[in-house]
Amino acid sequence: MSQEITNTSGLLTRTQAANYLNTTVRWMHRAPEHGIPYVKLGRNVFFLASDLDAYIKRNRVGGEMR
């Protein structure tokens, strides 16, 4: 019997975060260098979508914010 695990904690894996930012998992391994905060639980690294949104907002160039 297969069980699907649903992520309700708001934590994203490196792969999910890479997809969210449309980048590679390798780039996400260097997240601290890019100023992206992360959560470390044991050997596992997770990201908050709100932190990724803040990163996008900080790095936006030009245009008006609505």
List the chain pLDDT tens, one digit each, 66 residues.
444 445 556 899 999 999 999 999 999 999 999 999 999 999 999 999 999 999 999 999 987 766
Q: What is the pLDDT of residue 17?
A: 97
Q: Which domain holds residue 16?
A: 11-58
Q: Tokens 């894996």 belong to which residue?
A: 13
Q: Per the domain annotation, does 2 fall within a domain?
A: no
19: in domain: yes
Q: Is 12 helix (H, G, I), strand (E, B) or coil?
A: strand
Q: For the chain, give the longest Cα–Cα distance.
A: 51
Whole-number pLDDT of residue 65: 62
CB pairs under 8 A, 24+ apart, for 56-63? 56/21
Q: What is the pLDDT of residue 5?
A: 45
- The number of folded domains in the chain is 1
Q: Alpha helices, DSSP H only, in the chain? A: 14-21, 25-29, 49-58
